[in-house]
């Protein structure tokens, strides 16, 4: 049977090297104790925040010392826990780190309420009397901006203490789906038994054998059907937590609260949803092309991931993928390209799937360490694009960390998803321009179309679903598994109108962890829209546009997201980038239809 290996069987060269954080678990324990011993130092400043500018500066510098080390502690534990979610020692380590983080946040919960006793003029006087505070000007202004939604120090402390409890639905879901669940075994076209996992499900859905795809799809969603009450309850509780937290802070909705944290107007969200909804005919065209290319009378759910070429395409081994990704970013400058290459040589990436490993992919790290990328590489074109995506996040962190102080280096997801998708877009252009293998070029074009479909359209569909389930709770209505199924199936039907929904796909909402992240997914769709516009500028204008983009990356969190993106020449308050992205998607559909004789 084709199965997933244990971690010990993976070559060390393809695992990340966490010694840049701590040499070993014993060193982590020492650091953990050191941070725990210092938390009371934060409490010593309660009631004194606005005593004078010098005291405020002392506290902000102390906060940085403690929280920088705390980031190391929590990140190391999280990464260890991601390696094998079955490992109880690392799960306990992660839980301890989470508790310590909550304790530190609770100890400092008075900071923002006390700062908000200042007026803008008072902040100005502090900045004038203590020049070193000027580095915190954006932070201080942002705290004042949130004054209407910040509660008393006592309430803020309680909310901080409750963070472990309020995070429970997401953590329970993660343990269920990564450590406890199995997703079935099916016989492949060669008669070999194949284990379905969250990481390989999408790849199995690109197998040319339609009956095999159907059996994989049905088997996979049958497993989700067995836990639908558990997953439905966990998501319902997460949604209620979002709604309750927003109400506590005086917001009209959970969506308004989530977007206000990064000062993104809800109109940006509405513009995305409305613009995509107005252009669903282009998505429907993609489905119709797929139906024609596959030669089927009716496209069904298990056909949606299939290539327009009708096959899985050539394998792309990891070492080849990293070479192409490095070459692709050349338009962003030699320094950017060299730094990425050095990072890959320094074992930034944990490459292959192993039993118990967390599904999906992410880029992590801290201000004081190299980035760390978790992959579940599957030797295919999609995995190559995921590598490019995560490297975009990692390079963003590197450039922002170089240019900004600790408190301004962390950037918002709204900007982060632009950085990741710029790399994907550059990879597409590079491969279409340089690779002579017609089969590979066709599959690259098809993969980029799939990225557009799954990022611009699918993530906007997710965003609409997320908005509707929150609105249902906010209206006082119940959220049950049946209600989730009904709402999701309705949206899926609208978005993929030429497709017959089959095989339990109405339960797809169960497998999307991002619904626990509180209005996160829309930023994938805005990200690909902005990225497409940025890459067009870079390829047309060269170094001046690349310099603008690097300036955007270096800005980190030193300004609000819409202002940061404007540094790269893009206005995300306008529907123009989204309309432009839809136009690019449509043009690529024209190109591949002509290549395949479907136009």
Q: Are 429 and 535 in contact (CB under 8 A)?
A: yes
Please work out, in degrees rounded to the nearest 5, the angle formed at the alpha carbon of residue 521 by the alpha carbons of 519 and 522.
Answer: 85
- Find, among 240, 254, 160, 248, the residue nearest to 519 by Cα: 254
Residue 120: CB atoms within 10 A of its CB come to: 10
Secondary structure tally for the chain: helices H, strands E: 27, 7
Residue 367: CB atoms within 10 A of its CB come to: 18
**For residues 350 and 12, what is the distance between their CA atoms, to the nearest angstrom?**
9
Q: What is the token pair recorded at 238? A: 């997460």
- For 96: left if phi > 0, alpha if psi spans -120 to 50, otherwise beta; the answer is alpha
Contacts of 398 (CB under 8 A, 6+ apart): 339, 343, 371
- Find, among 28, 31, 39, the residue nearest to 81 by Cα: 28
Question: How far lies 140's CA from each of 157, 174, 335, in Å?
Answer: 20, 35, 33
**For residues 564 and 418, what is the distance between their CA atoms, to the nearest angstrom?**
11
Active site (annotated) includes residue 390: yes
**For residues 489 and 256, what is the distance between their CA atoms, to the nearest angstrom?**
26
- For 123: left if phi > 0, alpha if psi spans -120 to 50, otherwise beta; the answer is alpha
Question: Which residue among 300, 390, 447, 510 is the active-site one?
Answer: 390
The H or E element that residue 62 is part of is helix 53-83
**For residues 234 and 109, what is the distance between their CA atoms, to the nearest angstrom?**
27
Q: Which residue has the tokens 């609409």?
A: 464
Q: Are 396 and 416 in contact (CB under 8 A)?
A: yes
Q: What is the DSSP letter of 21?
A: T
**For residues 258 and 520, what is the distance between their CA atoms, to the nearest angstrom?**
8
Report the 3 state secondary structure along 290-301.
HHHHHCCCCEEH
- Find, among 204, 157, 154, the residue nearest to 378 by Cα: 204
Contacts of 117 (CB under 8 A, 6+ apart): 50
Residues that are catalytic: 390
């Amino acid at each position: 049977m084709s199965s997933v290996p244990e971690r010990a069987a993976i070559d060390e060269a393809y695992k990340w090297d966490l010694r840049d954080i701590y040499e070993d678990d014993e060193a982590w324990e020492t650091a953990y104790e050191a941070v725990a011993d210092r938390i009371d130092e934060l409490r010593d400043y309660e009631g004194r925040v606005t005593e004078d500018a010098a005291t405020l500066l002392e506290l902000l510098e102390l906060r940085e010392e403690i929280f920088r080390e705390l980031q190391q502690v929590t990140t190391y534990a999280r990464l260890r826990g991601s390696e094998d979610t079955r490992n109880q020692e690392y799960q306990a380590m992660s839980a301890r780190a989470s508790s310590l983080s909550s304790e530190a946040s609770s100890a400092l919960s008075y900071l923002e309420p006390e700062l908000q006793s200042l007026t803008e003029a008072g902040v100005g006087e502090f900045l004038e009397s203590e020049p070193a505070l000027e580095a915190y000007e954006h932070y201080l202004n942002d705290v004042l901006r949130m004054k209407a939604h910040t509660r008393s120090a006592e309430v803020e402390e309680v909310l901080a203490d409750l963070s472990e409890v309020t995070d429970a639905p997401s953590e329970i879901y993660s343990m269920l789906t990564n450590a406890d669940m199995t997703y079935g075994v099916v016989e492949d076209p060669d008669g070999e038994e194949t284990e379905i996992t969250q990481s390989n499900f999408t790849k199995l859905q690109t197998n040319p054998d339609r009956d095999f795809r159907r059996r994989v799809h049905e088997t996979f969603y049958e497993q989700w059907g067995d836990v639908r009450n558990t997953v439905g309850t966990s998501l319902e509780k997460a949604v209620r937590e979002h709604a309750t937290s927003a109400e506590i802070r005086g917001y009209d909705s959970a969506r308004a609260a989530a977007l206000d944290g990064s000062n993104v107007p809800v109109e940006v969200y509405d513009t995305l949803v409305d613009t995509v909804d107005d252009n669903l005919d282009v998505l429907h065209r993609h489905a119709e092309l797929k139906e024609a290319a596959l030669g089927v009378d009716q496209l069904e759910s298990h056909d949606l991931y299939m290539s327009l070429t009708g096959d899985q395409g050539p394998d792309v081994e990891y070492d080849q993928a990293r070479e192409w990704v490095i070459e692709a970013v050349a338009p962003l400058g030699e320094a950017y390209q060299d730094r990425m290459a050095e990072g890959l040589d320094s074992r930034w990436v944990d490459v292959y799937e192993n039993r118990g490993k967390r599904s999906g992919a992410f880029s992590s790290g801290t201000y004081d360490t190299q980035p760390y990328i978790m992959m579940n590489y599957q030797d295919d074109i999609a995995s190559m694009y995921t590598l490019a995506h995560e490297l975009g996040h990692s390079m963003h962190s590197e450039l922002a960390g170089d240019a900004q102080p600790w408190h301004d280096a962390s950037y918002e997801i709204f900007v982060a998803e632009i950085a990741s998708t710029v790399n994907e877009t550059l990879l597409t252009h590079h491969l279409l321009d340089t690779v002579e293998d017609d089969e590979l070029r066709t599959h690259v074009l098809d993969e980029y179309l799939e990225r557009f479909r799954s990022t611009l359209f699918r993530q906007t569909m997710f965003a609409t679903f997320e908005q509707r389930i929150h609105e249902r709770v906010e209206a006082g209505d119940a959220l049950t598994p049946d209600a989730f199924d009904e709402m999701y199936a309705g949206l899926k039907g609208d978005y993929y109108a030429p497709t017959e929904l089959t095989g339990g796909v109405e339960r797809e909402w169960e497998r999307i962890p991002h619904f626990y992240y509180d209005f996160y997914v829309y930023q994938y769709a805005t990200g690909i829209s902005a990225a497409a516009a940025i890459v067009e500028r870079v390829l047309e204008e060269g170094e001046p546009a690349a310099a603008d983009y690097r300036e955007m990356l270096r800005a980190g969190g030193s300004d609000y997201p819409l202002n940061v993106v404007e540094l790269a020449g893009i206005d995300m308050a306008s529907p123009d980038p989204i309309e432009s992205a839809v136009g690019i998607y449509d043009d690529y559909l024209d190109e591949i239809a002509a290549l395949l004789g479907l136009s």
